Chains A and B, each alone.
Chain A
Amino acid sequence: MPAGTLYRGREGMWSWVAHRVTGVLIFFFLFVHVLDTALVRVSPEAYDEVVATYKTPIVALLEYGLVAAILFHALNGLRVIAVDFWSKGPRYQKQMLWTVVGIWVVLMAGSLYPVLGHAARELFGS
């Protein structure tokens, strides 16, 4: 790669990229989610049938991914607000990003069992 073509934005740039990617993913899920919820106006059976797909192990993994995206977007969003409105925000943006990553890792570890437990029981028996 020729020198000088890779923008070395480090933490600031990569958190911005991750914020965009997670934001777009969440928005696309939101469309689908409003549509599937709208089935409660069709019939209880139609709704329960679609929700049954949300309970399969593969979709459970996607739900874990959704939780990951939402948690990062929420925590980093609060960091963006701090950078914009707190006078010392820009100076501490790196430290705040690593705080966000730390809280995110802890919450994701804590989410493993609640979100994926039912899928594990289905796959490996209770």
Chain B
Amino acid sequence: MSSDTTSAIGPVEGAAYDVDNPAPYIEPPRKRTGRTPKSTRGNFEMAAWLFMRLSGVVLVVLVLGHLLIQLFLDGGVSKIGFAFVAGRWASPFWQVWDLLMLWLAMLHGANGLRTVINDYAERANTRLWLKGLLYTATVFTILLGTLVIFTFDPNIR
């Protein structure tokens, strides 16, 4: 401890600041000003974070409703067959339900797995290949499912 017990800073060089002689304004570090270059990264990660929450709420309703119909009501899984699918997809309501569920669930799951890959695959090359595989499989599955819902033909035979 120094002998000066009133301040840890010690005497300030030059004149003391007061109302008529204010201290120079120091900008906070990393403050965004007009001279700050625009970020080149965008807000993708924030949008992805928000999408997980928004799609999650919708999926709780869509998926639990789907499970209730397919696995619980009316004999559970025993009743499912081509005729049952044809009966449900005769209604635009269930077509839209299933289409929305397909897209949201696939994108929600793909983004979740993207996070998992980023967390555990340590080599850049491994991440690249795993994510390439993930995106390929995701696009294929979404397009296949969409095609099936839109082109379903109850009189295929």
User: Which A residues lie at the B interface, using CB under 8 A?
Assistant: 20, 23-24, 26-27, 30-31, 34-35, 37-38, 40-41, 43-44, 47-48, 51, 54-55, 60, 63, 67, 70-71, 74, 77-78, 80-81, 84-85, 111, 114-115, 117-118
Contact = CB atoms under 8 A, between A and B. Distances in A.
Contact of A38 (B63, B64, B116, B148): B148
B96 interface: no
Interface in B136-157: 137, 141, 144-145, 147-148, 151-153, 156-157
A123 to B, nearest CB: 14
Contacts, number: 102
B34 interface: no
B145 A47 contact: no
Interface in B55-71: 56-57, 59-60, 63-64, 67, 71
Interface residues of B, number: 40
B112 interface: yes
Interface stretch (B17-25, B40-48, B101-109): B101-109
B82 interface: yes
